């Protein structure tokens, strides 16, 4: 299959729905073999089916990104199945509970930290090890957020973790730039996904307020983030590394 990642092996975490599913489908459309990974097996298998029904190649590997042994196994399972790893999109994430900092529980902070930051750290660590073992090259993209660039009231734990993703991305980019390994992040604005629907179901007034954050006048859709992630992983972005790419309808332009 022709495409900007034709012949490459791509791994996508958090690919059972939302942004991750859209990105997995775009990787496949652009010619990659895709390892679809998530905590949720049923919806993960559905992503695989969607890819195969469209003529692509994919398989599902369950993984909790906050567990080192599971992430190590995920990279191993990818290499066992397809012989190598070329592109990784570390997208799995959680919203946690939204509260002011003085009301944020330790459990909520730890939950955000373990999935949104430690999960990305464990993924980058194991993916880089594989790229080095292969003799390079490789490309990694992680999903940060505009909350990784600016503060956001009621989201202290999430904001702290996503700022960490941007810092880790820049540091990994510097550490492996001479090895042919590029490391970038995407910073979505407000994207209509199951995560957003959960937040609106807890607080229905949030929907109107959040549209107000978007100068473009609407929420983004998952494919608008997936296209950016796949492009960053492709050879078309061969001089791009250490970048936190904003895809936010102008939300951080003001
Ligand atoms: N939707 C938005 O507005 C928005 C904005 C900025 C950033 N993001 C980020 O985009 C990413 C994708 O979010 P989404 O909106 O598609 O949400 P989503 O809830 O629809 O998808 C997230 C996926 O991650 C999986 N996941 C959660 N914890 C996991 C774990 N420990 N191990 C493996 N998989 C796990 C979930 O099962 C789910 O399939 C997240 O990192 C999120 O923080 C989303």
Report pLDDT digits (tens) over 33-86: 999 999 999 999 999 999 999 999 999 999 999 999 999 999 999 999 999 999
Pocket of ligand 1, candidates 25, 195, 201: which has the most ligand atoms within 8 Å of its Cβ, to mutate? 195
Nearest CA to ligand 1 atom 1: 191
In a domain, 243, yes or no: yes
In a domain, 37, yes or no: yes
207-229 pLDDT, tens per residue? 988 899 899 999 999 999 999 99
pLDDT over threshold 90, residue 202: no
Nearest CA to ligand 1 atom 42: 93
Give me the domain span that covers residue 123: 9-247
Pocket of ligand 1, candidates 37, 91, 193, 249: which has the most ligand atoms within 8 Å of its Cβ, to mutate? 193
Specify the pLDDT at position 254. 85
Look up the CATH number of the domain holding residue 235: 3.40.50.720
The set of long-range contacts for 196-199, using a CB threshold of 8 Å and a minimum separation of 24, is 198/95, 199/95, 199/98
In a domain, 252, yes or no: no
The mean per-residue pLDDT over the stretch 129-133 comes to 98
The mean per-residue pLDDT over the stretch 185-202 comes to 95
In a domain, 153, yes or no: yes
Number of domains in the chain: 1
Active site residue 113: no
In a domain, 33, yes or no: yes
Report the atom number in ligand 1 closest to the C-alpha of 116: 41
CA–centroid distance, residue 99 to ligand 1 (Å) = 19
In a domain, 213, yes or no: yes
In a domain, 2, yes or no: no
pLDDT over threshold 80, residue 1: no
Query: 62: which residues sit within 8 A by CB, 6+ positions away?
Result: 37, 38, 39, 41, 44
Read off the tokens for 38. Answer: 């998530």
d(CA 25, CA 19): 10
d(CA 34, CA 167): 27
Pairing of strands 87-90, 57-62: unpaired
CA–centroid distance, residue 27 to ligand 1 (Å) = 18
In a domain, 88, yes or no: yes
């Amino acid at each position: 299959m022709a495409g900007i990642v034709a012949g490459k092996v791509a791994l996508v975490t958090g690919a059972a729905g939302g942004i991750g599913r859209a990105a997995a489908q775009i990787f496949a459309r652009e010619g990659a073999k895709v390892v679809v990974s998530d905590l949720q097996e049923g919806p993960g298998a559905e992503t695989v089916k969607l890819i195969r029904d469209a003529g692509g190649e994919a398989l599902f590997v369950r993984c909790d990104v906050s567990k080192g042994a599971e992430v190590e196994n995920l990279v191993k399972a990818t290499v066992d199945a397809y012989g190598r790893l070329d592109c990784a999109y570390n997208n799995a994430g959680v919203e946690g509970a939204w509260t002011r900092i003085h009301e944020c529980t330790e459990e909520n902070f730890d939950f955000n930290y373990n999935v949104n930051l430690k999960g990305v750290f464990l993924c980058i660590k194991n993916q880089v090890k594989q790229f080095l073992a292969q003799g390079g090259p490789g490309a990694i993209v992680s999903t940060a957020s505009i909350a990784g660039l600016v503060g956001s009231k009621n989201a202290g734990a999430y904001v702290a973790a996503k700022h960490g993703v941007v810092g880790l991305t820049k540091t990994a980019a510097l550490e492996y730039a001479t090895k042919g390994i590029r490391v970038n992040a995407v910073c979505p604005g407000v994207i209509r996904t199951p995560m957003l629907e959960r937040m609106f179901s807890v607080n229905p007034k949030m929907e109107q307020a959040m549209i107000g954050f978007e100068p473009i006048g609407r929420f983004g859709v998952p494919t608008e983030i997936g296209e950016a992630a796949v492009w960053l992983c492709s050879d078309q972005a061969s001089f791009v590394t250490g970048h936190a790419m904003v895809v936010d309808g102008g939300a951080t332009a003001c």
